[in-house]
Amino acid sequence: MKDNGVLVLSEMAGAAKELVDAIIVNPNNLEDVGDALWEALNMPLHEQERRMKQLRYIVEKFNIHQWVRIFMERLNEVKDLQRSMQAKLVGYNTALSITQQYRQANKRILFLDYDGTLVGFHVNINMASPDDDLYAILRDLTSDPKNKVVLISGRNYKTLEEWFGHLDIDLIAEHGAWLKKQRQPWKPSTNLSDHWKKDILPVLNLYTDRTPGTFIEEKSYSLVWHYRKADQGLGELRANELTNNLKYLVVDMGLQLLQGNKVIEIKSAEINKGKAVSAWMQEESPDFAIAIGDDYTDEDIFKALPEDVVTIKVGGHVSAARFYVNRYHDVRKLLTGLIRSGASADESSNHSLQYSSGSNK
Ligand SMILES: [Mg+2]
């Protein structure tokens, strides 16, 4: 086989990334193509042979069998990763075991995410306000003196105050940027700045203008781009573009970019739900802890908590959580079960009747 001849290859061909000894051209640029042909026609024979040998070597090495092998290896790696991250469904036995641990404990802490965990999602974010059943569950939980309920949300603290400020629960808003111990005033987490907003806002504005149905929500220490109301395909497309656009900028600015459920949130890298719950765990040192959440941001919670904590992901089993349930209804059912078992463990108490009512609607 002769090794003379030169390969001129379009930069748009997939092979251009591997066949680096070809002359790579932009086929839409006539001058570029002309130069390449000139270079090919005038290439010394020994250089042609050197390149051609290398090209043949690569083509022979990466044959169909090699590609399939690489592909299958990658596929297995992904499956292994998924398996290692797989949470277990909360079935009858798991629910029973969680309930038993709960009943035996004297100092319990419950970390509950709000959207997607205690309520479903609404197209209009302001419509996802708590309903009477949820209030009943929260009241029943908090009326047990052994319980501390901590509600954690990405939402702005004013909304949480309006919805839950009157209850005996602790609140963590905006992923940990604002904190409130029950019935006390809100406090911002330490040393946060929002100077970065002026650089990020114009980018978000650009995408909002180009994508009907999207809007920007400004929180004290974060900016959120919502695309739930946008056309689905376009929303996803723009979300990917926006992520790519901001990816490097946010790292330089000490920020982080979170992809939530139809939202992209940019906030200071120092804030995350995991840090917030760790502080609560240290302060309370409970003998039973449970954490439930549905979102990417809740993974920080699952990772931050000790292994014996009952961590539950809502809606999907690929998670750092130990367990999962399918929908927020399952969360309510589980909490209701806990309330009942707490009441039956404490039958001599006058509260028992109160616990068992109002939660099984
Ligand atoms: Mg959520």
Q: How far is the CA of 202 from the centre of ligand 1 (A)?
A: 27
Verify that 135 and 234 share a domain, yes or no: no
Q: Which of 83, 114, 139 is the last residue of a domain?
A: 83
Question: What ranges make up the beta strands (E) of the chain?
Answer: 8-10, 23-25, 88-89, 108-113, 147-152, 170-173, 178-180, 187-188, 215-219, 222-226, 255-259, 263-268, 288-293, 310-314, 323-325
Structural domain count, the chain: 3
Domain identity same for 97 and 159: yes
Whether 308 is a known active-site residue: answer no
Q: How far apart are CA 254 and CA 116, in angstroms?
A: 28
3-state secondary structure (DSSP) of residue 314: strand
Q: Are residues 226 and 252 in the same domain?
A: yes
User: Are 95 and 79 members of one domain?
Assistant: no
* Rounded distance from Cα 105 to ligand 1 centre (Å): 27
What are the tens digits of pLDDT across the range 165-177?
A: 999 999 999 999 9
**Which of 253, 268, 283 is at the close of a domain?**
268
Q: Which of 268, 294, 316 is the last residue of a domain?
A: 268
Q: Residue 357 Cα, ligand 1 centroid: separation in angstroms?
A: 27
Residue tagged active-site, from 21, 113, 298, 300: 113
Q: How far is CA 59 from CA 8, 15, 86, in A?
A: 15, 10, 39
**pLDDT grade, residue 129 (50/70/90)?**
confident
Q: Is 183 in the same domain as 40?
A: no
User: What is the band of 287 on the pLDDT scale with cuts at 50, 70, 90?
Assistant: very high
Flag whether pLDDT at 106 surpasses 60. yes
Q: How close is the Cα of 299 to the center of ligand 1, in Å?
A: 11
Ligand 1 (ion): residues with CB under 5 Å are 113, 115-116, 294-295
pLDDT (0 to 100) of residue 297? 87
Are residues 208 and 256 located together in one domain of the fold? yes
Whether residue 242 lies inside any domain: the answer is yes
CA–centroid distance, 139 to ligand 1, in Å, is 21
Q: How far is the CA of 199 from the centre of ligand 1 (A)?
A: 27
> What CATH code is carried by the domain that includes residue 140?
3.40.50.1000
Rounded average pLDDT over 31-57: 94
Range of the domain at 314: 84-189+271-356
Q: Is 361 within a domain?
A: no
pLDDT in tens, 130-144: 999 999 999 999 999
CA of 150 to the centre of ligand 1 (A): 14
Least confident range of 8-12, 26-30, 57-61, 112-116 = 57-61
